[in-house]
Amino acid sequence: MWQFQITNNPNLTCVFVDDAAWSTTNWTNVDVTTTFVETQAECDAIAAINDISNEELLYVSPNPTTGILNILNTSKSIIEKVVVTNVLGKQVIQTRVNNNQIDISNLSNGVYFVNLIAKNGDKTSYKIVKN
């Protein structure tokens, strides 16, 4: 396959592929809501995320990043902790937000999910690329 494009499909959250990391790196014409997965469990984990009601008021940048992620939170939710997982759903970092930043510089280059968890238990997730 020489070209892959799946844009303007905001409800398409999972695309099953043989190699999720390769697909994420090489097939970039996808909506931000779309994630490449290799198993049904990975897709189910994405579907299980409950969005913070004021998600549009939460931002994680820059994306892609080389290591330091900034969190801008102007929502009513108080972020209690941050959990970073790899594309296989394995937790690689769990921390509290420190000065509205998360340091992921020790992670290998690739695709990760930054899960912001509020004190009331609500969650939102951002797909980020670490270069």
Report whether pLDDT(14) > 90.
no
Tokens read off for 68: 């330091």
Note down the domain range covering 30.
Answer: 5-47
pTM exceeds cut of 0.85: no
pLDDT band with cut points at 50, 70 and 90 for residue 91: very high
| One domain, residues 37 and 82 | no
| One domain, residues 41 and 60 | no
| One domain, residues 79 and 96 | yes
Burial of 108 (C-beta count, 10 Å sphere; 0-12/13-18/19+): exposed
| One domain, residues 69 and 26 | no
What pLDDT is recorded for position 104? 94
* The total number of structural domains that make up the chain: 2
CATH for 79? 2.60.40.1930
Give DSSP secondary structure letters for 55-95: GGGEEEE-SSBSSEEEEEE-SS--EEEEEEEETTS-EEEEE
